[in-house]
Amino acid sequence: MKRILLIIAYDGTEYCGWQIQPNGVTIEAVLNRELTRLLGEEIKVIGASRTDAGVHAMGNVCVFDTDTRIPPEKISYALNQSLPEDIVVQQSREVAPDFHPRKCESRKTYEYRILNRTMRDPNCRRNTYFYHWELDVAAMQEAGTFLIGEHDYQSFCSPATEAETTVRTIHALAVEKEGDLITIRITGNGFLYNMVRIITGTLLEVGSGKRKPDEIAEILKKKDRAAAGPTAPACGLTLMGIAFL
């Protein structure tokens, strides 16, 4: 019995998120189905990050146990033969039998991509959020600095959370503009339910002048979801990768 780790990229547009659901196709369900078919054993993957419906990934991670004789590094190639074109395994390798991707310390990096121009661009509609009004990137950058560090992010968390604590650490938060594309890149030791999307929705309010950058500090203090901005749409969000420490 070996434990195999997969690094998975997907275009989440057509999926009801990562986690198996009674109705609707999910990434986890497709991976279980195709791994079970490929390996001839019933496979149930353990995912590192349960991305929401419509959210994308360049490097989500999952593990599973198998008795297969296929060399660990070859599983990715074999599996990609039968996966739909919007899910692509980037790498497969053996890990320690007790490695659990949600029970060890890690750094997750998300990117939220905002297309800030007059007209929509159909060629990046699937993984950017279109925002018509001009955004003040410098104000968004300043606002972002208040979020870095260890904080109680309850204000930036959906009340639907099941997390035991809402304290997390954001190690880096950068807002960058290249042409019409504004990217918010956030690295942290874990993210609460909808946290990156609520941070983005709040930074969009700062960028459009509805809030001042230093209001972020007050929002954090309030520990109240109602104090923060709206949840930005899923389509702009991509889980870029996870580093295990």
Residues that bind its own copies (CB under 8 A): 9-11, 56, 58, 76, 80, 85-91, 118-123, 125-127, 238
Query: Given 52, 65, 136, 152, which residue is catalytic?
Result: 52
Exposure of 174 by Cβ count < 10 A (0-12 exposed, 13-18 middle, 19+ buried)?
middle
Exposure of 98 by Cβ count < 10 A (0-12 exposed, 13-18 middle, 19+ buried)?
exposed
Between 10 and 64, name the residue whose CB sits nearer to its own copies.
Answer: 10
Between 25 and 163, name the residue whose CB sits nearer to its own copies.
Answer: 25
Smallest distance, its own copies to C-beta of residue 16, A: 17
Between 85 and 162, name the residue whose CB sits nearer to its own copies.
Answer: 85
The SS3 of residue 175 is strand
Side-chain-side CA neighbours of 139 within 13 Å: the count stands at 19
Q: Is 52 a catalytic residue?
A: yes
Between 117 and 223, name the residue whose CB sits nearer to its own copies.
Answer: 117
Smallest distance, its own copies to C-beta of residue 73, A: 11
Between 33 and 126, name the residue whose CB sits nearer to its own copies.
Answer: 126
Query: Which contiguous run of DSSP H or E holds residue 30?
Result: helix 27-39
d(CA 8, CA 61): 6
Smallest distance, its own copies to C-beta of residue 84, A: 9
Quick check: 156 and 195 in contact, CB under 8 A? yes
Smallest distance, its own copies to C-beta of residue 236, A: 12
The SS3 of residue 195 is helix
Smallest distance, its own copies to C-beta of residue 86, A: 5
b/e burial code for range 192-203 (CB count within 10 A of at least 16 → b): bbbbbbbbbbbb
Phi, psi (deg, nearest 5) at residue 184: -100, 115
List residues with catalytic annotation: 52
